[in-house]
Chain A
Amino acid sequence: MKKDKQSISPEARAIIRAQLTRRTLFAGVGAVSAAGLLAACGTGSSTGAEAVVDVSDSEKIVRWANWPLYLDFNEETKVYPTLAAFEQKSGIKATYEEAIDDNNTFYGKVQGQLSIGSDIGYDIVTPTDWMAARYIEQGYAQKLDPANVPNKSNIRQVLANVGYDKGRQYSLTWQSGFAGFGWNTQKLPKGIRTMEDLFAPANKGKVVVLSELRDTIGVIMLYQGVDPSSNFTEDQFMNAIDFFKQKIADGFIRQVKGNSYSEDLKRGDANAVIGWSGDIFILRAESDGKFDFAIPESGGTLWSDNMLIPSTSTHKKNAESLMNYYYEPAVAAEVAAYVNYICPVEAAQPELEKIDPELGNSPYIFPDAATLAKVKVFRSLSTDESTKFQTAFDEAIGN
């Protein structure tokens, strides 16, 4: 994570703050009014989150929503080993669901309930940076109690102070990863290092890219010499959109999609992708090196998914103890050995070396300074920018 991550404009912040105070006012008046119910599918103009009571001590449960293939899993016994160990140790029953497939879709599902303060069914959610920022700004995240999360100090230095959560008061990184080029080594033995390689004539109709705006457009912007972590202009963003549109119109880009791009690679419908590091490494391990990943020469993006406790959770202390557990170096190493993403706990490196020396030295799990120098974090967008840019991106992909 870059330290110079841009936060949103002061004007926007002022408005958000004003809204937060208004929301707290409304919450006192009576949260679940008929109007609140009607607005449940959410224009967000009515009431806000009520203060919830933490019943962690009487209800020993914690419910966690995460992304697919994001926690160590034993195919034979069908259990999550680290999670089972946590249950044993703490006496807290953990429910784990691969409920998040897309930041926007998940937000769309829970936003209505969050806005009227009714339980969304999860005590930990794991959104990506920009979405975590939205939860925190809108008051949908609970502040962590540092006393309950002593392992917080194990966090990798570059992740400790992000723009949307200084000092990690609300969130803790789950995993981070790179967006870059992935390819089929049998069809493209030379690999892909540059945008020209990706859009070579032989790949026409065989390229799939991510539907995550910040990754796909971020990689294109870097190719065009624009730093997506800098205060780039709207014109610079739209230039990247134009390039993207042209590649769709010319028939190079076959499809724009989320996690399922790995199926296209496996099926042979895609020769190359703009994809996520961990996914491709899992594919590579499953297929004896049929796939590979590289950060583009012109640069890739770095993103993180973050655990946070939604404002409606009544099991905050249990959730904190789970977060704390996953920041123990030995536990973090076990997770990293499975998911192959960047481990947020630097001290887990010697532990991972014990499990698998090769993984322990992978620059994609414990990146060195040289690797980190090649990637950028897409800056936070103001709400107006976010609406405008997301609309432009969605129109480019035919929506």
Chain B
Amino acid sequence: MAFLHGLSKSHTGSGSGLKSRSLTPYILLAPGLIWLITFFIIPIFSLASTSTMVRPEGSQIGTYVQELRFANYIDAFLASREQYLRSFIYAALATLLALAIAYPLAYAIAFKSGKFRNILLVLVIAPFFTSFLLRTIAWTQILADSGPVVSAIKVIPFIDETFRINNTSTAVVIGLAYNFLPFMTLPLYASLERIDPRTLEASGDLYANGLTTFRKVTLPLSMPGVVAGTLLTFIPAAGDYVNAAILGNPNTKMIGNVIESRFFAVVDYPTAAALSFTLMATILILVTLYIRRSGTDELV
């Protein structure tokens, strides 16, 4: 909105400064716009045009011609609806798991950490100092069949000798929740930290116990953080393919794995493009519905 404001101002103004001032907003916007056009708008059009192409029978691998075949979308979706559904289920489970872990954590950092607050915040971000891939590979060691976690669980009687976590759907959800945990924790912390402690005191003064105060005051006030955190976790988790590739098995593949396989292994660019578009559209619809429902439009 800022630049509209600037424009209207320059129209009413007069004198020699007029011209240069009216250009300023555009110059300020230029880096962002150029970036968006080069790395978002052009690729999006390229992707859209690829998604309706067709490979001529017998032609060289990777050769596609434009035939505006929109049925590509239907074919691609029908062939991989299982992985679509699975992606959203895993992403939702991982989001819930991350929320369950991050809320108490953010709460503790915001209200109970005292002088350790900054150190704890750095620790939340610390995993980003190493590569995403390496951290995920590290989980294969932690969850290995003869690793600490599985060995500990096997102590429980009645646990089957063949029990394992690596290469199961559990491992994939754990990996997703772990990898996106900071995206959940930081917005939660930001909104919890902003709560005026006097509102909590007031709640106590009105004879609300701890639970009621949390339910009626803290939680509602932290809702913007919950919405932002769940979105920031759910969206990348739904499109992720690294966790399913490293921690999963052939029956836990997500839509990201299918797109990667169609793009690199099969060299079927149209299907990969159509799947990507469908994924983007689905996420957009889900997110819109979610924001509408949670009534926090002003957030985004």
Contact check: which of A137, A255, A394 meets B60 at CB < 8 Å? A137
Q: Of residues 101 to 142 in B, which have CB atoms within 8 Å of A's CB atoms?
A: 140-141
* B140, A38: Cβ atoms closer than 8 Å: no
* B268, A391: Cβ atoms closer than 8 Å: yes
Q: Of residues 36 to 60 in B, which have CB atoms within 8 Å of A's CB atoms?
A: 42-43, 46, 50, 53, 55, 57-60
- Residues of A contacting B64 in the complex (Cβ-Cβ under 8 angstroms): 43-45
Interface residues on B, range: 35 or more
Contact check: which of B60, B166, B167, B264 meets A16 at CB < 8 Å? B60
* A38, B42: Cβ atoms closer than 8 Å: yes
CA of A107 to CA of B119, assembled, Å: 45
In the complex, whether A149 has a CB less than 8 A from a CB of chain B is no
Residue of B nearest to A254 (CB): B167
* A134, B61: Cβ atoms closer than 8 Å: yes
Q: Of residues 152 to 169 in B, which have CB atoms within 8 Å of A's CB atoms?
A: 162, 164, 166-167
- Residues of A contacting B266 in the complex (Cβ-Cβ under 8 angstroms): 387, 390-391, 394
Q: How far is the CB of A311 from chain B (nearest CB, A)?
A: 15
**Interface hit among B92-100, B232-240, B253-261:** B253-261
Contact check: which of B58, B141, B162, B260 meets A267 at CB < 8 Å? B141
In the complex, whether B63 has a CB less than 8 A from a CB of chain A is yes
CA of A276 to CA of B267, assembled, Å: 25
Residue of B nearest to A205 (CB): B162
Q: How far is the CB of B239 from chain A (nearest CB, A)?
A: 15
In the complex, whether B77 has a CB less than 8 A from a CB of chain A is no
Residue of A nearest to B259 (CB): A399
In the complex, whether A19 has a CB less than 8 A from a CB of chain B is yes
In the complex, whether A322 has a CB less than 8 A from a CB of chain B is no
CA of A102 to CA of B265, assembled, Å: 9
With A267-B146, A268-B145, A399-B261 as given contacts, are A38 and B61 in contact (CB-CB < 8 Å)?
no
- Residues of A contacting B43 in the complex (Cβ-Cβ under 8 angstroms): 41
CA of A383 to CA of B61, assembled, Å: 6
Contact check: which of B58, B145, B261 meets A11 at CB < 8 Å? B58
CA of A11 to CA of B59, assembled, Å: 10
Residue of A nearest to B147 (CB): A267
Q: Of residues 78 to 123 in A, which have CB atoms within 8 Å of B's CB atoms?
A: 102, 104-105, 107-108, 111
CA of A390 to CA of B83, assembled, Å: 18
- Residues of B contacting A382 in the complex (Cβ-Cβ under 8 angstroms): 58
In the complex, whether A398 has a CB less than 8 A from a CB of chain B is yes
* A104, B265: Cβ atoms closer than 8 Å: yes
* A269, B42: Cβ atoms closer than 8 Å: no
* A268, B58: Cβ atoms closer than 8 Å: no
Q: How far is the CB of A389 from chain B (nearest CB, A)?
A: 10
Residue of A nearest to B255 (CB): A399
CA of A138 to CA of B59, assembled, Å: 11
Q: How far is the CB of B47 from chain A (nearest CB, A)?
A: 9
In the complex, whether B178 has a CB less than 8 A from a CB of chain A is no
* B264, A108: Cβ atoms closer than 8 Å: yes
B74-90 toward A: CB 8 Å interface, digit per residue (1/0)? 00000100010000000
In the complex, whether A384 has a CB less than 8 A from a CB of chain B is yes
Q: How far is the CB of B254 from chain A (nearest CB, A)?
A: 9
With A254-B249, A387-B268, A398-B253 as given contacts, are A205 and B164 in contact (CB-CB < 8 Å)?
yes
- Residues of A contacting B257 in the complex (Cβ-Cβ under 8 angstroms): 398-399
Q: How far is the CB of B157 from chain A (nearest CB, A)?
A: 21
Can you list 7 contacts pairing A with B, beta carbon distance less than 8 Å?
A43-B269, A44-B62, A104-B265, A255-B250, A387-B266, A391-B268, A398-B249
Footprint of B on A, CB under 8 Å? 11-12, 15-16, 19, 38-39, 41-45, 102, 104-105, 107-108, 111, 134, 137-138, 204-205, 248, 253-256, 263, 267-269, 382-384, 386-387, 390-391, 393-399
Footprint of A on B, CB under 8 Å? 42-43, 46, 50, 53, 55, 57-65, 79, 83, 140-141, 144-147, 162, 164, 166-167, 248-253, 257-258, 260-269
